[in-house]
Each structure stands twice: as C-alpha cells, then as structure tokens.
Amino acid sequence: MMTPEVVMNLGQDALMMTMMLAGPLLLAALGVGLLIGIFQAATQIQEMTLSFIPKLGALVVALLIGGPWMIRTLVEFTTRLFNDIPMLVG
C-alpha cells in the first residue's frame, strides 16, 4: 500500500541513485576543472574555453570506466521498482 513512508522511501532511493550515478562524472569534471584552473592561474592564461576539452575527455574516460557499473545499477534499481509495483498498488 502507498503510505507516505513508502513514498518517502522511494523518493529517497531515487535521489540516492541519482547521486551515485552522477557523482563519478561530476567528481571527474571537478578534478580536471580544478587542475586546469590552477594551471591557468600559474601561467596567467585566461582563456575560458581551455578547460572544455579536458573536462569532456575526463567525462568520456569516467563513462568508459564506470559506465557498465552505472548501467547495471540503474537496471537493478528499475527492475526492483517494477517488481515492487504489485506490492505498492495493493
């Protein structure tokens, strides 16, 4: 049955899943952006587009490394949600 507690748990699980899947990509982009920012500050190169390609490359590498885990985790979560539908409806 769909009680407020069940709805809150589903929402919490969905937010946790979002953080787990977005976290590695965001951390990779943050790390590369920080390194490029330090490099720009040290060399006084103030080009705004300089960090775009390295960040894109870091995201591609992070997706290649973590992509299978991300897909597997998302499929398991979705399968669990679909299997729980009869219990949630009543």
pLDDT digits (tens, 9 = 90+) for 28-83: 999 999 999 999 999 998 888 888 999 999 999 999 999 999 999 999 999 999 99
- SS3 string, 10-73, reads HHHHHHHHHHHHHHHHHHHHHHHHHHHHHHHHHHCCCCHHHHHHHHHHHHHHHHHHHHHHHHHH
What is the domain partition of the chain in residue ranges? Answer: 22-85
Residues 23 and 9: their CA atoms lie apart, in Å, by: 21
- pLDDT over 90 (residue 27): yes
What pLDDT is recorded for position 52? 92
